[in-house]
Structure 1
């Protein structure tokens, strides 16, 4: 296949947004390529079906880490969606925008193009929010965003405890005020069904004759003529072929896959590439470096009274919940992974919240690897510092495009991160001690009272911690010459190649990355189309 103006490698949150935006002009031919299948798995649409999808290797990339002290000496697995919609088809559906200060900080190390004054309008353009339009919230965009419908006495107590901590209860926790908050969180759910990037952005665009969508087609590498990208080599049904492009190739594989595509294409550290027999197209030592991820810890409690949702996920009540979902698209199976959240400071003197707590009215059975709920009533939270300063790395160890790259997370490498991790847990325990929540709690069961000192809390993170599935930074965007990508998303040292996804973020916006990825991709489309217009005028 030849003649495309843009080839987009990866149909995740960024790729679907770009396909939607770029193909809106019928004169622009776009090819969107996804390694996984179409998003027809029946449990993708059901919000609480995510556990079933996350257990299906056909729909996932599974990246294994090198064992290290910060993962308790074990190998940790980070999974990503391998399906239309990418990780937005398998994630927890929380919609967290990040705060203006996060994007203004990104703009400081990149360019003014990424400041909140541009990202705020991008959010407004892409959203169709249940709460309606305001200064930055949109009501007419492709992405349907809704508020939780399942509310109970335990959730009320959890919010009240946050208010007792001095955190304002907000109707919209994404209000762009850089402040603390507690409340119900928006979800990418509409009428009981997941709103993945494929559902929101790709479905409306697929009817366009100028958009070609290829599934079960793995991008191996970018093909170059000299230093200009001319297409991609793909592996499809066991056959290699080259898909040509006379415009630009846009890599949207995410923080885990995009550096791998660049390295297989000859862009990276020369010694690493030469060891794998890959000809060097451009030396770029930071490809695969600067990997940043949230390190979360689940804190869990046994309750005195049967107020939790545990009973709804077992026995005849589970059957009732499933039936309620299929009949009314409502109830526990129509809920996101977490529907309550809090944003707070881990210690005095900070100018804005530096930790996020996701709050649930149920508790996991750790003996069953969190694949089931406990048989007694319980609740839990997952808490993590928002802006880790530690940096890991991810690199290929083989030229096989179907082999997921391995990585080193390097959590808690800095004193700042260790202080924030300890502080976050202490704040969570203080929250659990507030009225009226404290009266409902019998005991903390995870990590438990044995993990009390600073060293013991850090040991709990190492032993029981989890990644946030929010990795960024591995193809860092910056205004400095060492950055992989320049502030207009073009890969330095070559022509006709861009990267647009979480890998280019030089920092994690404060919270989950689905929303920021969509907003930054929307903004990237503005820049790409503006650059196209500039070239056309010059010609």
Structure 2
């Protein structure tokens, strides 16, 4: 049996970073285990291809929540990447780092080394930003960040103009000195290809002889000697394997799979473990708890001017867009559909921006799981304006259903369980109506399709929100970082409380969810985790 220095479970947004950074010196032997396949697939590398991977079980875990009381008993879809690059290989590529107060909050919760100035240095190290090196951005790092101001759909520019008419300041850099205002999103692409964590970090590292990458390798349990992690058991193509780690086992499976593997290995709430017939190695009540996520809510419109529907609905539009991409790596296939947006304060007394905005220059009907989405746009021009509260107060949890590692855990998001969260989305819905009433939008909108102008009162808006809101797929905090083992899973150095040589390095360690899209912060956690591991290695 080959012994490695480090075993990383999960080749996602943070795992790819770890694989690169821990092997860079040549001193350490690293095994990277990924349950899914290679990312060398056309629809992963084409930016708009996430519409094809959204319901593809070969690269997507396609989790479903339990019925959610706050959403009228509806279930919520939880797509998660099951492929090299993890969710960075199937997401919408919006690059949003969060705001300074998010990370200062982390530090104030007892996590030294995680304040804004600390993490800004990591962001700058990892970036290769179109805007170049500055006080806010880095250049020459592994992860390319594209500015799309000149490439986006013309409707997006009208949206940004309307945002200013609604009272928001134009923000030319939504990752600059402040996130507040309305502007154009930056995305993780380069030369017309998706810039996932795999392409940025893992592809260069795979040339190194001290890194071994195993795909289609499902980790089934962590191996322990007493309370010291010594390796991982995994299944690969029908065979059972064990691998040993001389230094550390590092979980980077993400906010669903990392707590699931801990619980399968006897680390978690003892009542949950015993109910599944699993021996309790270490009672850790916070494993799988504190689940946080961002909800989104749309207003959908028929447009008087052409939108991406006019490109993607007719066959000749698809053909032209495809040819433009193949020949020039440009056009709508080289972008995300989330092109515009920003952040604003829901209430005058808000200390900082607390609601995120999205604009998509197309409309489509969401499909049920099992049917590919975003491939059937509406046969008329349309667009979507959306809101997503940044810091929800509702907390959910997840737990294993059995000792079978192939059985999906039970996910209880507990959305809209607090008045605060309901009021935030209501404020967002009211702002969307304000946007729609601006001169620019009034000239553009042919009809409000959803919710429709029959919805006017607060009660009607809240009922509509509960019926139609949905996750934007930012689950975090199920292995929360903090000093108290009764409330947190890992300490500020990402070591699992009460156990030796075991860390969690992924978005599950977020003490609280960041403002905005969570992929950039997840990659940053990979950078920070690598620094901590290497510092402890001496």
- The equivalent residue for 1:395 is 399
- The equivalent residue for 1:167 is 168
**Taking structure 2 as the reference length, what is the TM-score of the superposition?**
0.96
- The equivalent residue for 2:529 is 524
Q: Give the stretch that moved more between structures: 459-468 or 8-17.
A: 459-468
- The equivalent residue for 2:260 is 260
- The equivalent residue for 2:457 is 453
Residue 272 (structure 2) pairs with residue 272 (structure 1): yes
CA shift, 1:204, in A, is 0.7
Residue 495 (structure 2) pairs with residue 490 (structure 1): yes
- The equivalent residue for 2:520 is 515
Equivalent residues in 2 for 1:44-55, closer than 5 Å = 44-55=44-55
Displaced runs of 4+ in structure 1, greater than 6 A?
Answer: none
- The equivalent residue for 2:470 is 466
Residue 511 of structure 2 aligns to a residue whose secondary structure is: coil
Separation (CA, whole Å) in 2 of partners of 1:40 and 1:486: 36
- The equivalent residue for 2:347 is 347
- The equivalent residue for 1:437 is 441
Deviations 1:56-82 (A, max 9, x none): 111111222111222332222211010
- The equivalent residue for 2:216 is 216
* 8 Å contact from structure 2 (residues 122, 524) kept in 1: yes
Equivalent residues in 2 for 1:65-464, closer than 5 Å = 65-148=65-148, 149-177=150-178, 179-303=179-303, 305-315=304-314, 316-365=316-365, 371-464=375-468
Residue 187 of structure 2 aligns to a residue whose secondary structure is: coil
* 8 Å contact from structure 1 (residues 94, 337) kept in 2: no
Separation (CA, whole Å) in 2 of partners of 1:153 and 1:60: 32
Residue 410 of structure 1 aligns to a residue whose secondary structure is: coil
Residue 244 of structure 2 aligns to a residue whose secondary structure is: strand
Q: Give the stretch that moved more between structures: 182-191 or 64-73.
A: 64-73
Separation (CA, whole Å) in 2 of partners of 1:450 and 1:215: 52
Separation (CA, whole Å) in 2 of partners of 1:37 and 1:55: 15
**Taking structure 1 as the reference length, what is the TM-score of the superposition?**
0.96
Residue 407 of structure 1 aligns to a residue whose secondary structure is: strand
Residue 506 of structure 1 aligns to a residue whose secondary structure is: coil
Separation (CA, whole Å) in 2 of partners of 1:72 and 1:88: 31
Separation (CA, whole Å) in 2 of partners of 1:484 and 1:50: 32
Separation (CA, whole Å) in 1 of partners of 2:166 and 2:524: 32
CA shift, 1:301, in A, is 0.9
CA shift, 1:337, in A, is 3.0
Q: Give the stretch that moved more between structures: 345-354 or 85-94.
A: 345-354
- The equivalent residue for 1:536 is none
